[in-house]
Amino acid sequence: MTLTEELFEFARSRGADSVGVVSAEAYEAIVPNLQKPSTTAKGMKSLICFVKHMLTGSFATRDVSVQSLNSHVCMDRVERISMELAEWLEKKGYLGLPVPPEAADMSLQRSPAGTLDFKWVAEESGVGTVGLELNLLTPDYGPRVYIGVVMTDAELETTPKLEQHLCPGMKCGRCAVICPTQAIPLRARRDAHITEYRNLDKRACASGAERIGIKPLLLNLRKLIFTTPPPDPQRVLEHVYWKEFWQSINSKLGAFAACFECFYVCPPGAKDFRKIIRIPYRRMDIPPGKVGRRHFDDMVEMVYRGVPEERKSEYERDQDFGDVLQAGHNP
């Protein structure tokens, strides 16, 4: 068994669903920005990439806090596996360096970004392909995975990229028509390949996926400060929002991964998607026949339908104090 085969076997035994390797030098050469391997550490030879899937049962609840807890547990697992892979390599005499999956380096670019963009490492190492909404899609679990990357100075055998893209783009478009913040492209040239138009409006997505975070906090504060007549300060201070905010800081509940709409409806996933659409209200997220398209000239445009009516309020990020603002204040 080669070192790479042994490593892959170990990674799977620790819980990784699939594993790949891309050469650090080859990857460095194709990255157009500062998210290059050398930004994290110089002298590394290989990037090991793996994914861990979220529990499918977490999609059987409508409680977003429970679902996002599942995300955090999955992310913790990714960090643990990364540490174990690095230790395994170090016992063999190499360097092992887990790259933090969540930390953003504010000096890299204006919007927060990690020192490596894991989804592209995953695509280059054949673990999956990047879809219309810029999530990594994997053959077994679609986008419902978290990604880990470990760098090493060991020269490992590389794995080939997947031959076919898992996302058919506008021929599917399910994530785009349901995304509550319209962060996913709804139009493309009819003959364009998915790689030409896949994209995500990160700001818009953040306002959906961060129920409690710096952006929603600022939006709420702005509303509280500038609404006339001003709200009753006592009611503002006693509002449940602050308790939720505190809980979010402590447990991450709602801090990120508070929107799963594009995860629910994405068909790739040989091991989980059938189970997901067996869940009655998941089947009705996009009822049969509800994905519409308009064709004109050489363009195709998806017909936006948004999230189901009963979930819309979950994505109104400056409405948390709506009850207090409506009541007004008569000192």
| Binding window for ligand SF4 (CB under 6 A); candidates: 7-15, 79-87, 107-115, 205-213 | 205-213
Binding ligand SF4 (rule: CB under 6 A), the pick from 86, 262, 291, 325 is: 262
When asked if residue 172 is in the footprint of ligand SF4 (CB under 6 A), the reply is yes
Region of 168 (left: φ > 0; alpha: ψ -120 to 50; beta: rest) is: alpha
| Binding window for ligand SF4 (CB under 6 A); candidates: 22-30, 153-161, 226-234, 256-264 | 256-264
Residue closer to ligand SF4 (CB basis): 122 or 265: 265
Taking CB atoms, the residue at the shortest distance from ligand SF4 is 208
Within residues 263-322, the interface with ligand SF4 by CB under 6 A covers 265-268
Residues 34-53 vs ligand SF4: string with x where CB under 6 A? --------------------
**H helices present in 135-286, as ranges:** 174-178, 194-197, 202-209, 214-226, 233-237, 240-251, 261-264, 273-278, 280-283
Q: How far apart are CA 142 and CA 236, in angstroms?
A: 42
Q: How many residues bind ligand SF4 (CB under 6 A)?
A: 26
Amino acid making up residue 192: A
Residue closer to ligand SF4 (CB basis): 128 or 131: 131
Q: How far is the CB of 261 from ligand SF4 (least distance, A)?
A: 4
Q: Which two tokens stand for residue 26?
A: 């080859």
Residue 268, classed as helix, strand or coil, is: coil
Within residues 111-150, the interface with ligand SF4 by CB under 6 A covers 131-133, 137
**Angle of helix 3-13 versus helix 64-91 axis, rounded to 10:** 150
Residue closer to ligand SF4 (CB basis): 98 or 131: 131
| Binding window for ligand SF4 (CB under 6 A); candidates: 35-43, 47-55, 172-180, 231-239 | 172-180
In the chain, the DSSP E strands lie at: 18-23, 46-53, 96-99, 129-130, 136-137, 145-152, 187-189, 292-296, 299-303
Q: In Å, how far are 169, 215, 255 from 100, measured between CA atoms?
A: 30, 23, 18
Q: How far is the CB of 173 from ligand SF4 (least distance, A)?
A: 5
The widest CA-to-CA distance across the chain, in whole angstroms, is: 78
Q: How far is the CB of 59 from ligand SF4 (least distance, A)?
A: 14
Residue closer to ligand SF4 (CB basis): 8 or 315: 315
Residue closer to ligand SF4 (CB basis): 70 or 181: 181
Strand partners, 22: 47
Are the CB atoms for 51 and 127 separated by under 8 Å? yes
Residue ranges that bind ligand SF4, judged by CB under 6 A: 131-133, 137, 167, 169, 172-175, 179-181, 183-184, 200, 205, 208-209, 259, 261-262, 265-268
